[in-house]
Every structure is written in structure tokens, then in C-alpha cells.
Structure 1
């Protein structure tokens, strides 16, 4: 091999990454891992099976390889490791979080278009006070409000269902990590997330408890929500209150009440867009705490059989 700096050839038998003349790192060097008995003469006997590649894990270990190494061995200390069942909570949590992210983005887009439709309707209400409006323009306004007024609630409902699924899995993993047990049953949690006025507090409190447990803090201390959790909690509570006010206001039939209803629908859509964005943030934050993904370092190794 020739050194790229001094151009001198390496003496026969020289091995290493550096030039023996100038110390420059040699190009084309590969790290080769060999077994401890690679240099020993092999005894005659039955042929060993060919190397089948590195071991494969069903999920990424959280800290190096310790979860796999400490798994109980059915045959004793020298027995084979127990296989891991597919679909365990960390893998399910990451998959649910990815699906929830796509649903939340879709809901935000649909709700954003619905908010623009409410703005157009309000502008037409202002213009109709002293002039006649085009039937085509009114038709487009009604179509946008009608179509996206149905699509956005359906998408929001699907997002809420997947969010509850993610919340249950995250709560289970947080309890295992902290060695505690959730004091709310699954039934109480689901009812608290959908029934007012409990829906104002139960979802945000559950997220704060999950974050507290995932952070390794003392279970006896009171959970203090972080900024992502607190921001989501405020947006969620504001959306619930605005939604209730919009439903109550919808029973009025006066002209001014109809105009106020358009304004309320607009703000409900805006808060829904903000809540979807904050949902993506808080789900990514807590998923990374509970089931972190090890990122590649950019190095590669070659195994010589």
C-alpha cells in the first residue's frame, strides 16, 4: 500500500492504520472483526454452519444491549435467551405515535380550510347588508363550509380515538418504567377524557403523570407539567370550552346570533388547528421519553467469517 502523503510504499508485513514513514492515516483500511479462535488451527470434524449475519432484534434496545442480555434464560444461566414477543409496548407506542401524527396533520389541514370558509361566510354577511350577492359566490361559500364542516369533525374524531389508544399504551409503559400503578382505571380514564367537565382536567393530568414517571422522578412528588404538556392542556381546555359555547349559541335564531355563530365556528377551527399541532409536539416528546430510538452514528464495521 502506498501512502497518499509521502508516496512511499509500506514495508512488507506492516499493518495498521498509519504510515510507518510519515504517520498519515492510510486510505482503504477496513476494520475487520475476528473471533478469538480465528488464529487457532481448526480440528477436523463436522463443518460448522456458515455465518448467518449479525443478530436481529425486534426492537431497538433502550440502553446499549442490556435489555436483551438480562432477559431470563429458560434453560438456566447457560441456556438460550427467551425470544421476545412481537408487538411489545415500545414498538406499539412508536407505531401509534406515527399514525397519530399523520392523522393530526390531516385534521389540521381540513380544519384550516374550514376556518377559511367561515371567514368567507362572515365577509359575505358583511357585504349583504347593503348589496345583493352573487349566487355562484354564495354557492361556493356554502359548499366549502358544508363539506369541510363535516370532514374536519370526522378527522378530529379519528384523531381523538388514536390519541386515546396512544395514551393507554404510554400510561402502561410509564407505570412499568417507574414501578408504580396508575390510580385511574382504564374505564375512568376514558370517561374522564370524553365527559365534561372532567375532560378539562383528566387528559392533561394524565399526560403530566406520564411525563413525571418517564422522567424518573420521585413517584411521591406532585407532577409538574413541562411546557409542551402545559401548552397542549391549555389549548385542549380552550377548545372544549369554545365548543360547548358554540353548541349552546347554536340554539339562538336571531340574525345577530347567526353572525356570532360564524365567529365562534372560526375560533373553534383555529383552536383545533393549534391543538393538532401541539398534539404532535407532546406525543413526540413523551414517545421519545418512553421509547427512544437509537440513531445511527455513521460508522460501519465489516465482519470477516
Structure 2
């Protein structure tokens, strides 16, 4: 009787494990292995014949400035992401205090994140419009006509304009994460710091920020990986223009696959993006760990 029960129990456990593991392998690991394999080929997405190219696709990614060089267009997103985290921490500290209407301000800052990304892009299309845009209209009303620009048509400004949209959309989400972390810090620590004569800045620098090290690490990873994988804003607002100045690596990868039917090269670009994300994560972990230990 006991042996039969144990066999049934083991069979049930194996059955319940097999289904999620099978789905995980089918929809995660198999596509990943397939992607890695295709990155060494010249598959065009249609033909059944596949030629093995070795590392030629990877060499093309790193040596062709039209491919790897587009990462320079994503520097404004990285800078905006770092600034986004700084501002989010400041807002989290302010809204963690006992001020009137703090819940309303939290909601107002978080609302942009829950908005649809395409809807946000179309909304800012009217903000940045050269002739009828609200931004240029506001500058004109303020007597700052000299600052009016073609925000999405100027090659030197387009990426900063797009990065500002990302800043506006994700700052509230980042703030909420920091706010939750702040509320987990015991209040006794701040009371002890106040008794010892610490002012607000010293409490922030020597108490709050070290306590947020792991959360900062998480948010910076999300920010930097998001900056590397920007797609929706330039795709909707500029299509990579003007003159390819707002193309991102992911946008270039999509174009390589679906426009030029070079799925092998696009697969290699995807693997490179994954490797860069892992490298940035490792470097960030080391840097923030040293800061936390200090």
C-alpha cells in the first residue's frame, strides 16, 4: 500500500514538473538555442538551405559602423536613465515624508508608466512638432523663440528629445521602487542619526543611499538594459531618422531581419546585445558592490 502511494506521488510530481519544464523548453530554451545556431548562418528566413558562415556574422556586427556604431545614438538614453534614477530618489525621499497630498503626487508621477507606449509616442509627436507643437508654442509665449527647434528633425537633438520622453515615462515607476525600499528602512536609524547631530544631507548620503544599494543596482540594470534595447519611441516617432541619426541597435536588428531578410546577421546582433547586457550587469554589480562595502 505504501509503495503504491509513493509511486503515485512520484508520478504526480513528475507530471506536474514535466508540463512547465516542457513549456519552458519549448518557448524559451529551444528558441534561444535556435537563435544561437542561426547567428552562424546566412539564413534568409525563407529558403530551406542554410549555409554555415562561422564567425562572419559577428565580425560584420563589430566591424560595420552602420551596425555596431548605432550604439552611439543610445548614449542620451543612458545619460537620461542615470538622471532619471537621481531624480527618482529625490522624489522618493520627498514623498516618503509626511507632506500633504503625497499620495496624489505619487499617482501623478506613476501614471505615465501605465500609459501605452505607442500612445505616449503619438502624444509627444504633437509636443515636438516644429510648426504646431506645444513645446515650441510654449517657448514662443515665454519670449524664448530663439530656443525653438525642430526637435525630431535636428540630428544633434533628436536622441535627446526621445530620451526625454523615456525619462518622463519611467521616472515614476523608478520612484515607486525606491519609495518601497525607503519604507523598509527602520525609522530608529534616522532618529539615532538625528541624535548624533546628522543633518538631512548627511542622513541621505551616509544612511539612505547605502541602504538602497541593492535597489539602485536593480534599477540601474533595468535602466541600462532598457537604454540598450530602445525600440518603440524611435520606431513610431522618427523611423530611425533623420538620416538614420536616431536608429538604435534593436531597430537596426529588426530592419536587418524583416527588411533585408538577413536573419542570420540579425540573430548575431541579438546575441551581441544579450552579451553586452550581461557585461554591463557584471560591471555594474562590481561597481555598486564596492560602493556598498565602502
Q: More helix per residue: 1 or 2?
A: 2
TM-score where L is the length of structure 2: 0.31
